[in-house]
Amino acid sequence: MTVHMAQLTAARALLFVPGDRPDRFDKAVAAGADAVILDLEDAVADADKDAARAHVDEWLARGGEALVRINGAGTREFEADLELVAKHGCPVVLPKAEDPAVLSGIDVPQVPIIETAAGVEAAVALCAVKNVARVAFGSVDLATQLGVRHNDEVALGYARSRLVLASTANGIAPPVDGVTTDLGDETVLAADIRHARRLGFGGKLCIHPKQVAAVRAGFAPTEEELAWARRVLKAGDSVSAVDGQMVDRPVLERARRLLALADS
């Protein structure tokens, strides 16, 4: 079994699970995330890479359904990881995406993580690659490279907006925001979700199952938004006013998108 492109483009909560912890794979699926990412990269020590790949291979062979975050291009694990995802036909999450040519050589659906300055500057070209379903933002790695705090909204604002614009310009799904590392304060996660959604992101990477429900709810249209959308569509296609605000074609389109998002 594999995760289909439509599932990727509609996903709100994508949950990481370390590839060397097979005892957590089924638990991660049961957590209710829209998609699970089996991680062969950052979550796995170098000495455990081969064992992690074997665990992921075995679980996928038994019918498991997930994305796989492979090790980046140029690492010694890259080719073996590619063989694994090709064998199972599962979508790949490529870290530190910078070169469109690397993405073009991967013949499965992809969610590249843009997490370097070079990747941000190449965002439009990366989003244009055929098999890219959407991109994700690697906020922690980029912040480290830039020498700023990973939770600094101002410092990372340009990068986030560039990913949203690049995705929209290429007609692909809205990008997925980076992780919230604070697992003890729910208000931090809620604030991160609000900020990302305000900028145009469509989902978020999760590092713990307890983040999933909040992320799924936070990226879904609110009841207030849905009620507004219904009032707008009820007013008809001609230029009109709803709640004292002008309604024209772009506003109608936003209303339709909100209702479609609620059904996804």
Residue ranges at the known binding site for Mg(2+): 115, 141
Give CA–CA dist 33/205, Å, rounded: 10
Q: Please state the length of the chain.
A: 264
Q: How far is CA 25 from the centre of its chain?
A: 19
Rounded to 5°, angle at Cα 158 from 154 and 162? 150
How many CB atoms lie under 10 A from the CB of residue 27? 12
Tell me whether strands 35-39 and 240-242 are parallel, antiparallel or unpaired: unpaired
Q: Cα separations (Å) of 234 from 46, 119, 144? A: 58, 43, 49
Q: Which residues are annotated as a binding site?
A: 69, 115, 141
Helix (H) or strand (E) holding 49: helix 49-61
Question: How far apart (Å, rounded) are the C-alpha atoms in residues 60 and 73?
Answer: 23
Phi-psi group of 150: left, alpha or beta (phi > 0 → left; psi -120 to 50 → alpha; rest → beta) = alpha
- Residues at the annotated binding site for substrate? 69, 115
Closest CA to 15 of 168, 176, 165, 123: 176
